[in-house]
Amino acid sequence: MVTPACADPLYRRSVRTSMGTVFQVPWTRLDDWPGDLTLLHDAGFVTVALTPDEAATDIAEFAAAGHERIALVLGTEGEGLAESTVAAAAAVACYALR
């Protein structure tokens, strides 16, 4: 799911950088961000945001909860996630979900 402010995944440089993976991974553009997180919740997903915040839920603790359907919310390299997005999801990292 790509937010309204994200770059176009089909832009030629994006396609080249992803080595064509954009054609293999399903994606869609959302209209309302972070409001559309409710679509994931309604579909039974637990949304989790990646953050370096020390007050965030510990990775191992989250992974041990055994959630079946997880949607990771990722931000940009520079600015990361907006506070409103982080407020709508718990904080974890990909490593624990492998």
CA 45/CA 71 separation, integer angstroms: 6
Indicate the burial class of 3 (C-beta count within 10 angstroms; 0-12, 13-18, 19 or more). Answer: middle
Rounded mean pLDDT, 58-79: 80
Per-state percent for the chain, helix, strand, coil, to nearest 5: 30, 15, 55
Rounded mean pLDDT, 5-23: 89
Q: Assign 4 to helix, strand or coil.
A: coil
Task: Give the pTM.
Answer: 0.64
The answer to which of 7-16, 41-50, 52-61 has the lowest mean pLDDT is 52-61
What is the pLDDT, as a whole number, of residue 10? 92
